[in-house]
């Protein structure tokens, strides 16, 4: 029997099975193909609720250890995202080691598709950073276990608008909980990052009459979105101390940390970015202590996953949207539970997801 220690102790001498055991992973698949140059890792975290679905990230990792840690961490996150969204899916993810702007070829993507196929449906892929729908079309030539396909191939196309809709639902639920109304008219909202998701979110918010302020490091896109939706823009990255009602991180992770929590003046943090809390436990508690309501990221940004999930049995956009709308009710449920049990909203969300997995495990064992 393996003795489970702190994960960082294993990272030093890189005992992969021990790391997997610590994080409760089921399977890790290493793929190496000399001819195409493919070096990929597929991680299957937990298939209690269904096949492991998660995108493939192509990234120029500095080392294979870095890639392993990334894929293990990301796949685990997918288990909880699927569980809390009520989907019959487990958590998985894949990484391809390489520069997506230089190393991606049809042969490489098809070889990757062969590896996905070899898992017989235990893992279903989709796009993530460094991938797009046309890459998934190449993967599809080798396997049916792929989602994130273009609309004309029966896929759900770009998932970002659905992700944005889910975040909008999460923001409305937060407003309902704090102010007793989900109407965002005249609420001051800072949207940090107006990329694929952020721009769509700005559209929903401005249509409802919210007072939206946007920020992005990409100046030309910032100006374009500001002109299009007639909202104020801030070029400086010093946005954390702005006097707003809602801060919506839609750019990068870890923007909620020791330094920024000090500065925040908002009542609500609710956005699309993955892993917003630098330290989940510590920073969710710090937000709570400061009286700031945090809508858990993996709950409110699940629209994209819901969208690709709906491809599995024949894509139905209306169904995907109506399932994404449920993020509103689940978010409220989490807030009430957090209040009742005196735990952070982040803990409440994890508990709900874990309970769903445990219940199914119990049923399967009977
Ligand atoms: P994107 O790359 O299209 O947009 C990100 C935007 O953030 C870009 O415009 C970029 O210039 C800007 N940005 C980067 N660093 C910044 C900084 N320091 N300050 C301000 N702006 C900055 O990405 P996206 O698809 O819109 O995703 C946004 C976030 O949501 C990411 O964290 C992503 O992981 C997460 N997410 C996306 C989806 C989806 O469906 N696309 C689903 C779940 C989670």
Lowest mean per-residue pLDDT among 138-142, 188-192, 195-199, 361-365: 361-365
**pLDDT tens readout for residues 58-94:** 999 999 999 999 999 999 999 999 999 999 999 999 9
What pLDDT was estimated at residue 10?
56
* Confidence band of 251 (pLDDT split at 50, 70, 90): very high
pLDDT of 167 strictly over 60:
yes
Q: How far is the CA of 29 from the centre of ligand 1 (A)?
A: 28
More confident residue, 366 or 53: 53
Give nearest CA residue, ligand 1 atom 31: 273
Q: What is the mean pLDDT of residues 164-186?
A: 98
Dmax (CA) of the chain: 62
Instruction: Kindly state the tokens that stand for 19.
Output: 């790391």
Give nearest CA residue, ligand 1 atom 25: 196
What pLDDT was estimated at residue 252?
87
**Residue 165 and residue 128 share a domain:** no
**pLDDT tens readout for residues 9-48:** 555 667 899 999 999 999 999 999 999 999 999 999 999 9
Q: How far is the CA of 340 from the centre of ligand 1 (A)?
A: 33
Given 146, 179, 195, the domain boundary residue is: 146
Cα 158 from chain centroid (whole Å): 14
Using CB distances shorter than 6 Å, the residues near ligand 1 are 159-160, 163, 192-198, 215-218, 221, 237, 250-252, 272-274, 301, 304
**Catalytic site includes residue 93:** yes
The CATH code of the domain that includes 182 is 3.40.50.720
Q: How far is the CA of 152 from the centre of ligand 1 (A)?
A: 26
**Residue 225 and residue 141 share a domain:** no
* pTM of the model as a whole: 0.92
Residue 360 is assigned to a structural domain of this protein: no
Residue 78 is assigned to a structural domain of this protein: no
Q: How far is the CA of 255 from the centre of ligand 1 (A)?
A: 12
The share of the chain scoring above pLDDT 70, in percent, equals 96
Q: Please tell me the distance from the alpha carbon of residue 34 to that of residue 51, in angstroms, as a whole number.
A: 29
Pocket test for ligand 1, best of 133, 167, 195 (most atoms within 8 A of CB): 195
The share of the chain scoring above pLDDT 90, in percent, equals 90
pLDDT of 2 strictly over 60:
no
On average, the pLDDT of the chain sits at: 94
**Residue 172 and residue 136 share a domain:** no
What pLDDT was estimated at residue 9?
59
**Residue 181 and residue 246 share a domain:** yes
**Residue 259 and residue 237 share a domain:** yes
Residue 152 is assigned to a structural domain of this protein: no
**Residue 164 and residue 142 share a domain:** no
- Which residue(s) pair with 53 in the sheet? 91, 124
The CATH code of the domain that includes 36 is 3.40.50.10860
**Residue 224 and residue 100 share a domain:** no
Q: What is the mean pLDDT of residues 311-327?
A: 94
Residue 22 is assigned to a structural domain of this protein: yes
**Residue 342 and residue 253 share a domain:** yes
Q: What is the mean pLDDT of residues 287-303?
A: 98
Instruction: Kindly state the tokens that stand for 174.
Output: 């937060």
What pLDDT was estimated at residue 158?
87
Q: How far is the CA of 133 from the centre of ligand 1 (A)?
A: 17
> Does residue 331 sit in helix, strand or coil?
helix
Residue 151 is assigned to a structural domain of this protein: no
**Catalytic choice (5, 12, 39, 93):** 93
Pocket test for ligand 1, best of 196, 306, 327 (most atoms within 8 A of CB): 196
**Residue 171 and residue 304 share a domain:** yes
* Confidence band of 302 (pLDDT split at 50, 70, 90): very high
Number of domain units in the chain:
2
What pLDDT was estimated at residue 11?
58
The set of residues, in sequence order, having a beta carbon less than 8 Å from that of 10 and lying 6+ positions away, is 18, 19, 22
Q: What is the mean pLDDT of residues 280-303?
A: 97
**Residue 115 and residue 230 share a domain:** no
Residue 343 is assigned to a structural domain of this protein: yes
Q: Please tell me the distance from the alpha carbon of residue 319 to that of residue 84, in angstroms, as a whole number.
A: 17
Residue 47 lies in domain: 13-71+89-146
Atom of ligand 1 nearest to the CA of 221: 9
Pocket test for ligand 1, best of 80, 225, 251, 278 (most atoms within 8 A of CB): 251
Contact criterion met (CB below 8 Å) for 90 and 61: no
Residue ranges of alpha helices (H) inside the chain are 7-13, 16-23, 64-84, 106-118, 133-140, 160-179, 196-207, 219-229, 258-263, 280-289, 297-300, 303-309, 317-325, 327-341, 345-365
The set of residues, in sequence order, having a beta carbon less than 8 Å from that of 228 and lying 6+ positions away, is none
**Residue 41 and residue 171 share a domain:** no
**Residue 200 and residue 140 share a domain:** no
Residue 48 is assigned to a structural domain of this protein: yes
What pLDDT was estimated at residue 334?
98
Q: What is the mean pLDDT of residues 280-285?
A: 96
Atom of ligand 1 nearest to the CA of 197: 26
Residue 4 is assigned to a structural domain of this protein: no
* Confidence band of 350 (pLDDT split at 50, 70, 90): very high
pLDDT of 325 strictly over 90:
yes
Residue whose tokens read 């801060």: 247
């Amino acid at each position: 029997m393996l003795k489970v220690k702190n994960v960082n102790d294993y990272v030093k001498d890189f005992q992969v099975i021990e790391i997997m055991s610590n994080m409760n992973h089921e399977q890790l698949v290493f793929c190496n193909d000399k001819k195409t140059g493919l070096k990929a890792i597929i991680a299957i975290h937990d298939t209690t609720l269904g096949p492991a679905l998660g995108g493939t990230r192509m990234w120029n990792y500095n080392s294979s250890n870095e890639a392993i840690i990334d894929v293990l961490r990301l796949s685990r996150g997918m288990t909880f995202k699927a569980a809390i969204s009520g989907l019959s899916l487990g958590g998985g993810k894949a990484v391809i080691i390489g520069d997506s702007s230089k190393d991606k070829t049809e042969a490489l993507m098809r070889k990757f598709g062969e590896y996905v196929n070899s898992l017989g449906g235990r893992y279903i892929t989709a796009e993530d950073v460094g991938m797009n729908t046309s890459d998934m079309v190449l993967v599809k030539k080798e396997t049916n276990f792929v989602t994130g396909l273009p609309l004309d191939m029966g896929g759900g196309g770009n998932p970002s608008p659905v992700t944005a809709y889910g975040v909008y639902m999460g923001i409305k639920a937060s407003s309902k909980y704090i102010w007793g109304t989900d109407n965002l008219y005249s609420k001051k909202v800072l949207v940090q990052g107006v990329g694929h998701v952020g721009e769509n979110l700005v559209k929903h918010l401005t249509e409802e009459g919210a007072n939206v302020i946007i920020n992005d490091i990409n100046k030309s896109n910032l100006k374009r979105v500001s002109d299009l939706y007639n909202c104020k823009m801030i070029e400086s990255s010093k946005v954390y101390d702005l006097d707003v009602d809602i801060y919506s991180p839609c750019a990068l992770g870890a923007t909620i940390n020791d330094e920024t929590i000090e500065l925040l003046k908002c009542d609500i943090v609710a956005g699309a970015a993955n892993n917003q809390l630098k330290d989940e436990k510590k920073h969710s508690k710090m937000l709570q202590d400061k009286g700031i309501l945090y809508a858990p990221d993996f709950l409110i940004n699940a629209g994209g996953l819901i969208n690709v999930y709906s491809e599995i049995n024949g894509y139905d956009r209306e169904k995907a949207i109506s399932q994404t709308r449920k993020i509103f009710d689940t978010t409220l449920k989490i807030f009430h539970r957090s209040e009742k049990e005196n735990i952070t909203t982040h803990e409440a969300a994890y508990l709900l997801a874990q309970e769903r997995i445990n219940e199914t495990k119990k049923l399967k064992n009977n």
